[in-house]
């Protein structure tokens, strides 16, 4: 009998120096690509066009201690720090932390701050370069244990659909995005091309905290709730919680009605807030729908619970609330190598957090739900970890 899945982390991050994926950028644009420079007081900083210098810090914590700046991808002997190495090193780190597989979200700096680059051809080439590295150099070592989450560009629907198709062809199981597929903070009709194509390709949608605007526009003096879109009314009292406004926009724009099979996984949101938000969604719907002449086919809470998953990191409170929160809609992620994770003691954290909780909830959250969402075969033997 070979090794089987026992625990799957639904949230880790690929944090590497940029040279490992910049090599896939066309030569003519290499001088526009992010650069990593050593800092005089230790650690490294990222130079990205249009952004101030950004120091490595919480993004490369590993087992800690946490640094707000001056962190490094390298140990004193020049070898790679925890979480900053190649795929083989990552598999050994999974073993150390008690996991059998991870969903791998993009690096925090490289995925967002490159949006500041003015030349969108250069920007798109960086997105493609990272996704190429992720698929061909990293996840290919153990695609059953390194579940790659490709980054989508924010330059419009045509570019988003093209990158979605590239990710699927390259063998990646999931995509991450920060705006709506149209490239803006708000839904538009052309987004349906992306949603429809994702279903056709069978690729998972995993947007991390959320996507698009994180809160509704502020009310102007003298206006009441009728002065903002219904998504803003739906999210009243709870709009500061991620990904509440994203959920409100998805509901009010009819995405779940037009695509009854679509699902989203929001990692690292935690879930202790969820029962209150679902109550408020339904309550606000009844309070404000007549002002907007809105009628949904279902309650807002029903849309969320049928189409959305949420990721916990350090949330023992949410685990104790299972029952109010359906465990089949929850996944756990270590967030390795970021600062709020539990490496290398994740199994100890989980044992303590699930103490006194029905074992079926634990199995669902740590194994069955991520396996179903990312189409992993729980009966198959998984890739063995290469020796150091």
Split into its structural domains, the chain has a count of 1
Could you read off the pLDDT of 98-143 as tens digits, one per residue?
A: 999 999 999 987 888 999 999 999 999 999 999 999 999 999 999 9
Domain assignment present for 33:
no
Domain assignment present for 70:
no
Strand order in the sheet with 35-38: 35-38, 44-47, 54-55
For a pLDDT cut of 70, what percent of the chain falls above it?
Answer: 97
Which among 307, 228, 221, 325 is positioned nearest to 271, based on CA atoms?
325
pLDDT for res 321: 92
Domain assignment present for 54:
no
Claim: this prediction has a pTM higher than 0.75? yes
Could you read off the pLDDT of 189-230 as tens digits, one per residue?
A: 999 999 999 999 999 999 998 999 888 877 654 444 444 478
Domain assignment present for 115:
yes
pLDDT for res 242: 78
Domain assignment present for 326:
yes
State the Cα–Cα distance between residues 235 and 115, nearest whole angstrom.
Answer: 28
Structure tokens at 124: 């798109």
pLDDT for res 354: 95
Domain assignment present for 40:
no
End-to-end C-alpha distance for the chain, whole angstroms = 23
pLDDT for res 223: 46
Residue 291, SS3 per DSSP: helix
Q: Which residue numbers in the chain have pLDDT < 70?
A: 219-228
pLDDT for res 33: 94
State the Cα–Cα distance between residues 22 and 35, nearest whole angstrom.
Answer: 9
Domain assignment present for 162:
yes
Give residue for tokens 């109550």.
Answer: 279
Domain assignment present for 44:
no
Which among 62, 58, 64, 65 is positioned nearest to 80, based on CA atoms?
62
State the Cα–Cα distance between residues 175 and 372, nearest whole angstrom.
Answer: 16
pLDDT for res 219: 60
Q: 175 lies in which domain range?
A: 8-19+86-373
User: Could you tell me whether strands 35-38 and 44-47 are parallel, antiparallel, or unpaired per DSSP bridges?
Assistant: antiparallel
Which domain CATH number covers 279? Answer: 3.20.20.140
Q: What are the backbone dihedrals phi and psi of residue 108, each rounded to the nearest 5 degrees, phi first?
A: -65, -40
């Amino acid at each position: 009998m070979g090794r089987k899945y026992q625990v799957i982390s639904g949230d880790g991050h690929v944090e590497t120096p940029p040279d490992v994926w910049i090599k896939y950028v066309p030569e003519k644009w290499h001088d526009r690509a992010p650069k990593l420079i050593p800092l005089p007081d230790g650690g490294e900083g990222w130079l990205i066009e249009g952004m101030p210098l950004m120091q490595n810090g919480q993004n490369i914590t590993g087992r800690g201690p946490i640094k707000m700046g001056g962190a490094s991808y390298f140990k004193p002997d020049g070898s790679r720090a925890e979480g900053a190495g190649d795929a083989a090193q990552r598999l050994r780190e999974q073993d150390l932390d008690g996991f059998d597989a991870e969903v791998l979200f993009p690096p925090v700096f490289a995925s967002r701050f490159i949006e500041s680059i003015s030349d969108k051809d250069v920007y798109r080439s960086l997105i493609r370069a990272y996704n190429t590295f992720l698929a061909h150099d990293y996840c290919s070592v153990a695609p059953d244990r390194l579940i790659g989450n490709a980054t989508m560009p924010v330059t419009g629907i045509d570019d988003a659909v093209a990158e979605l198709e590239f990710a699927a062809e390259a063998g990646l199981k999931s995509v991450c995005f920060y705006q709506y597929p149209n490239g803006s903070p708000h839904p538009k009709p052309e987004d349906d091309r992306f949603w429809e194509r994702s279903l056709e390709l069978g690729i998972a949608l995993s947007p991390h905290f959320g996507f698009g605007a994180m809160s509704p526009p502020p009310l102007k003096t003298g206006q009441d709730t009728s002065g903002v879109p219904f998504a803003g009314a739906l999210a009243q009292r709870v709009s500061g919680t991620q990904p509440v406004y994203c959920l409100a926009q998805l509901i009010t724009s009819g995405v779940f009605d037009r695509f009854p099979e679509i699902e989203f996984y929001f990692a690292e949101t935690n879930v202790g807030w969820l029962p209150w938000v679902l109550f408020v969604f339904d309550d606000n719907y009844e309070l404000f729908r007549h002002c907007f002449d809105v009628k949904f086919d279902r309650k807002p809470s029903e849309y969320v619970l049928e189409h959305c998953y949420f990721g916990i990191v350090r949330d023992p409170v949410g685990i104790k609330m299972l029952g109010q929160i359906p465990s089949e809609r929850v996944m756990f992620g270590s967030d390795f190598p970021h600062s709020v994770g539990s490496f290398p003691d994740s199994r100890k954290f989980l044992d303590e957090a699930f103490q006194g909780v029905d074992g079926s909830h634990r199995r669902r959250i740590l194994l069955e739900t991520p396996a179903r969402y990312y189409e992993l075969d729980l009966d198959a033997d998984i890739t063995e970890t290469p020796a150091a």
